[in-house]
């Protein structure tokens, strides 16, 4: 999968500029995982962020 | 809806595969499966809307105690007729939220997306995910803020994958 993307669709200059600023280290880390492990990491991160957000809300 | 800490989207994928449900992963989970380092809390799929496949999907949903989200104070099981239609059936399951999309916002359904999808094999399961360029195309066209935010990461990922082949 995703060995090499086929023809990429046109994206505007703003998106291209933002893409150049994306931290590639994180992408390389994600690519080092298996697809289902990527999914688990993504769900786990979302849960952690939600817990942080909820904790912040409770402080108010 | 189960707590996101209890969600196991990977297990949800495997349950669908094991039951023989034909589907294509789209949305944030598709981006993650390709290698985008983003978060996601649910699984979006476009399923084949044949009676046989919808029946298989419905069985899995029943096994996972699925109920339609956003029905205040009511736990309604998803209806087969809704799953056969072009609309979206958004459910909570014991393994996490699952969005069953009859078609995407641009009207494309399972058959339309099939040639724009790739097969993934992992942990003994084989399933299909929309390809990265189509995902970028979809996210560009929806125009929603959260999709626009994801675009730079997807483009960077595509560049990284392209670079790794050189």
The share of chain B scoring above pLDDT 90, in percent, equals: 75
Q: Where are the domains positioned within chain B?
A: 4-131
Residue with the bigger pLDDT between B41 and B112: it is: B112
- Please, are residues A7 and B133 in contact by the beta-carbon 8 Å criterion? yes
Q: What is the DSSP letter of B79?
A: P
Q: For chain B, what is the radius of gyration of the CA atoms?
A: 16
Collapsing DSSP to helix, strand or coil, B118 comes out as: strand
Q: What is the DSSP letter of B105?
A: T
Predicted confidence band of residue A19 (pLDDT cuts 50, 70, 90) = very high
Nearest by CB: B35 against A38, A50, A51 = A38
Rounded CA-CA distance B38/B145 in Å is: 15
Closest CA to A30 of B120, B97, B153: B153
pLDDT tens by residue, A24-59? 999 999 999 999 999 999 988 888 888 888 887 777
- What is the value of ipTM here, to two decimals? 0.85
pTM of the model: 0.90
If interface means Cβ-Cβ distance under 8 Å, which residues of chain A face chain B? 1-11, 15-16, 18-22, 24, 26-31, 34-40, 42-43, 45-47, 49-51
- Residue of chain B nearest A26, judged by CA positions: B37
Q: Where are the domains positioned within chain A?
A: 35-60
**CATH 3.30.460.40 applies to domain B4-131:** yes
Nearest by CB: A2 against B37, B40, B118 = B118
Residue A60 pLDDT: 65
Structure-derived torsion over alpha carbons of residues B153, B155, B159, B160, reported in degrees to the nearest 10 = 20
pLDDT tens by residue, B25-42? 999 999 999 999 999 888
Please tell me the distance in Å from B5's CA to the nearest CA on chain A. Answer: 5
Mean pLDDT of B136-149: 87
Query: Has residue B157 got a pLDDT over 80?
Result: yes
Distances (CA, A) of B88 to B19, B49, B107: 21, 12, 12
Please tell me the distance in Å from A56's CA to the nearest CA on chain B. Answer: 17
Residue A6 pLDDT: 58
Greatest alpha-carbon pair distance for chain B in Å reads 55
Tokens representing B49? 């809307």
């Amino acid at each position: 999968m995703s060995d090499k993307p086929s023809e990429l669709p046109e994206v505007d200059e703003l998106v291209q500029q933002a893409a150049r600023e994306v931290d590639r280290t994180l992408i390389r880390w994600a690519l080092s995982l298996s697809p289902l492990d990527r999914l688990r990491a993504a769900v786990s991160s979302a849960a952690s962020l939600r817990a942080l957000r909820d904790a912040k809300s409770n402080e108010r | 809806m189960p707590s996101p800490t209890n969600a196991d989207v990977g297990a949800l994928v495997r349950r669908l595969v094991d039951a023989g449900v034909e589907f294509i992963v789209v949305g944030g989970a598709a981006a993650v499966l390709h290698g985008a380092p983003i978060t996601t809390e649910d699984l979006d799929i476009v399923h084949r809307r044949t009676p046989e496949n919808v029946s298989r999907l419905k069985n899995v949903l029943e096994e996972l105690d699925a109920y339609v989200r956003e029905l205040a104070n009511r736990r309604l099981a998803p209806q087969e007729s809704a799953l056969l239609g072009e609309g979206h059936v958004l459910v909570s399951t014991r393994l996490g939220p699952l969005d069953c999309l009859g078609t995407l916002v641009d009207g494309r359904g399972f058959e339309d997306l099939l040639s724009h999808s790739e097969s993934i094999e992992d942990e003994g399961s084989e399933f299909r995910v929309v390809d990265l360029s189509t995902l970028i195309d979809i996210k560009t066209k929806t125009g929603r803020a959260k999709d626009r935010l994801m675009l730079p990461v997807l483009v960077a990922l595509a560049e990284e994958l392209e670079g790794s082949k050189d």
